[in-house]
Amino acid sequence: MEKTYNPQDIEQPLYEHWEKQGYFKPNGDESQESFCIMIPPPNVTGSLHMGHAFQQTIMDTMIRYQRMQGKKHPVAGRYRPRRYRYPDGG
């Protein structure tokens, strides 16, 4: 066992498997219930703090859980300041 954790050794094969299986791609099935989470605007001071990381972690966990339940959501863990459009226009 390695003395230090090397994330590439563990996470890269898992991520490649997830990519091959299409876990990050919406399937366009309109019968699926959708799930949306609002990302609040930055705070007034503009200074990041641990609360931001905590909030992002909670939102990421909620999104991943809902996707595992079969609900539509663009991509877990990839937040962008723009509206995401599904490839099928949904």
pLDDT digits (tens, 9 = 90+) for 49-82: 777 778 878 888 888 888 778 777 655 445 444 4
User: Residue 81: what pLDDT?
Assistant: 42
**pLDDT band at residue 2, thresholds of 50, 70 and 90?**
confident
* pLDDT surpasses 70 at 26: no
Report the Cα 69 to chain-centroid distance in Å. Answer: 14
Q: How far is 58 from 9, CA to CA, in rounded Å?
A: 26
Asked if 28 and 86 touch (Cβ cutoff 8 Å), the reply is yes
What's the predicted TM-score (pTM) here?
A: 0.45
